[in-house]
Amino acid sequence: MSHPIDYSQPAASQVDTLSTLGPTQETEAAQPIVLQARGALGQRLDRFLADQLEAVSRTRLQKWIALGAVKVDGLQVLARHKLRGLESIEVVPLPSEAERAFEPDPVELNVVYEDADLMIIDKPVGLVVHPAPGHWRGTLMNGLLYARPDSARLPRAGIVHRLDKDTSGLMMVARSERAFERLTVAVAERSVHRRYVAVVHGETPIRFSIDAPIGRDPRDRLRMAVVDLQRGKAACTHVVRLASAGGLSLLCCDLETGRTHQIRVHLSSRGFALVGDTLYGGHPMRGCTRQALHAWRLALAHPISGQRLAFESRLPDDLAALLAQSGLPEPVVPDEVKRG
């Protein structure tokens, strides 16, 4: 397992090899570099990184920032972000292949709401949200760059959170710099409410919560796992069983945090793997060949006006068919959950 490296001095020597590595080698070799911004009061983030990582051009660093590979105190920021001199900055070096990620592609977007600052998208199954090794083109980000060219000025074209490739449902995207900054903070402060529908193997308790850290599975780098806090990040999922039938349970899941594969890992750790989720112990059933997980409802305060907004996404056909064939009803949130 890779561990962050803490550099309090200029780290140019630590990335010298990046200029000689091929794309695959870079991806495998890259480890997070952690820099302290001591003495950088008032400096732009991209300028500070260029001074610290001399082997990487400022232009390339700006692209890393735009792809979300740089975080300041755990948050995505703009390349022109002014440092206070107290921050911890994590940089994940990206392969040269990543340069292709900024090309616009004609990806169909199902936009359910849009104004000058905010867009809400209903993501279909199979669409990768953000460029990454193996998926540098044809992602949601590429589609945003094609449909809204002005989004190129924002990190990740305004994407502030992700859904897995085979998870469907609602996502929010910033359309302005001020909205991006405020939505990023709102996600970090857990003031955005995200509710998911899941179908799992087995009959779960009626109501339960899973509060367990999540990190990379030390035995399989493609998986996440419940780990100790030293190796992972805090994660909390609240679950209500809406119905059960035929050895399956229909669940409503509320997230307090948004870790990679959080719902899938948490439920699997309790013995309730999602239908279709072969990575975490589930298996396909009745035409559902992907993890039976849908980002069903999204509620947030508008990042500029503060107006309370709420959206709901219709279940996609494969999940609706799975419910019908399993004798499970369409999801309806119980009154006590609504009040919560």
Point out the residues that are catalytic: 164
The token pair that represents 127 in the structure block: 């669409």
Cα-flanking dihedrals φ and ψ of residue 244, to 5°?
A: -145, 145
How would you classify the pairing of strands 193-201 and 248-255?
antiparallel
The token pair that represents 320 in the structure block: 């609706």
Q: Tell me the one-letter amino acid at 56.
A: V
Report whether 139 contacts 124 (CB < 8 A): no
The token pair that represents 41 in the structure block: 């009061």
The token pair that represents 117 in the structure block: 């600052």
Task: Report the alpha-carbon distance of residue 266 to residue 143 in Å, rounded.
Answer: 31
The SS3 call for residue 5 is strand
Cα-flanking dihedrals φ and ψ of residue 196, to 5°?
A: -120, 155
The token pair that represents 18 in the structure block: 């990046």
Strands in 59-213 per DSSP E? 70-72, 88-91, 111-114, 118-123, 168-174, 193-201, 207-211
Task: Report the alpha-carbon distance of residue 263 to residue 282 in Å, rounded.
Answer: 13
For residue 182, what are the contacts with CB-CB under 8 A and spacing of at least 6? Answer: 303, 304
Report whether 170 contacts 311 (CB < 8 A): yes
Phi-psi region of 190 (alpha: psi -120 to 50; beta: other; left: phi over 0): left
The token pair that represents 130 in the structure block: 């953000």
For residue 59, what are the contacts with CB-CB under 8 A and spacing of at least 6? Answer: none
Q: Tell me how long the chain is.
A: 340
